[in-house]
């Protein structure tokens, strides 16, 4: 019986025998729920080499989630197709990447198609809505950023209208 990485399903008293039916094996069902911190959710989203930092994202890395979408408001104003990108979540821990080995140009490469992220319930709702409005990309954060606070940088364009930005059904509006 292989117990490396196993987690107890329930407390085990001192001197009590460790039985296999009381453990969750590292590669067994229920493992993700057992390692997930209280109040957090495991949320999976599709990725590709282009939207997942070229395949360099691994479990326990931290990422920012960026939404790229059409800007319908700008299109109505200018008559030209317009796209915008915005960081919707910052410093999110990656719980898992489903990695498979594929062959490309005669070489074996590791490719992930799904990233499982650790989110609080509000972040999960934000991500569900964002998936309906555009393309999600993951930006890998430096290990050196781990000790810094994860706040979004101030907007670069200071000529924008001031007010409260509201996003409803994927449409952003600013009120004074």
Q: What is the mean pLDDT of residues 145-156?
A: 53
Phi first, then psi, for residue 18 (nearest 5°) are -90, 115
Nearest to 136 by CA among 57, 60, 78: 57
Most confidently modeled of 7-16, 30-39, 113-122?
A: 113-122
Query: What are the residues whose beta carbons fall under 8 Å from the beta carbon of 118, sequence distance 6 or more?
Result: 36, 37, 40, 41, 42, 92, 93, 94, 95
The answer on pLDDT for 17 being more than 50 is: yes
Average pLDDT, the chain: 77
pLDDT of residue 169: 46
Residue 60, number of CB atoms within 10 A of its CB: 9
pLDDT of residue 111: 65
Nearest to 112 by CA among 33, 48, 18, 22: 48
Q: Are strands 135-140 and 164-168 parallel, antiparallel or unpaired?
A: unpaired
b/e code 3-16 from CB counts within 10 Å (16+ = b)? eeebeeeeeeeeee
pLDDT of residue 36: 81
Task: In whole angstroms, give the CA distance from residue 4 to residue 79.
Answer: 60
pLDDT of residue 51: 76
The answer on pLDDT for 156 being more than 50 is: no
Q: How far is CA 64 from CA 6, 37, 110, 132, 141, in A?
A: 30, 20, 22, 18, 7
Task: In whole angstroms, give the CA distance from residue 75 to residue 41.
Answer: 36
The answer on pLDDT for 171 being more than 90 is: no
pLDDT of residue 120: 95
Query: Where residue 91 falls among pLDDT bands split at 50, 70, 90?
Result: very high
Q: What is the mean pLDDT of residues 102-123?
A: 79
Global pTM? 0.65
């Amino acid at each position: 019986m292989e117990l490396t990485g196993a987690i107890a399903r329930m407390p085990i008293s001192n001197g009590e025998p460790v039985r296999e039916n009381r453990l969750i094996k590292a590669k067994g069902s229920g493992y993700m729920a057992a390692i997930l911190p209280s109040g957090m959710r495991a949320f999976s989203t599709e990725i590709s080499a282009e939207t997942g930092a070229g395949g360099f994202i691994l479990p326990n890395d931290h990422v920012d989630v960026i939404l790229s979408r059409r800007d319908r408001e700008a299109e109505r104003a200018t008559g030209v197709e317009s796209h915008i990108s915005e960081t919707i979540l910052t410093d999110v821990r990656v719980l898992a990447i489903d990695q498979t080995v594929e062959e490309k140009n005669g070489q074996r490469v590791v490719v992930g198609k799904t990233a499982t992220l650790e989110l609080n319930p509000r972040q999960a709702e934000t991500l569900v809505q964002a998936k309906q409005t555009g393309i999600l990309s993951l930006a890998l954060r430096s290990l050196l950023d781990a000790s810094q606070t994860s706040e979004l940088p101030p907007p670069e364009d200071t000529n924008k209208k001031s007010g409260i930005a509201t996003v409803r059904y994927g449409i952003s509006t600013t009120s004074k």
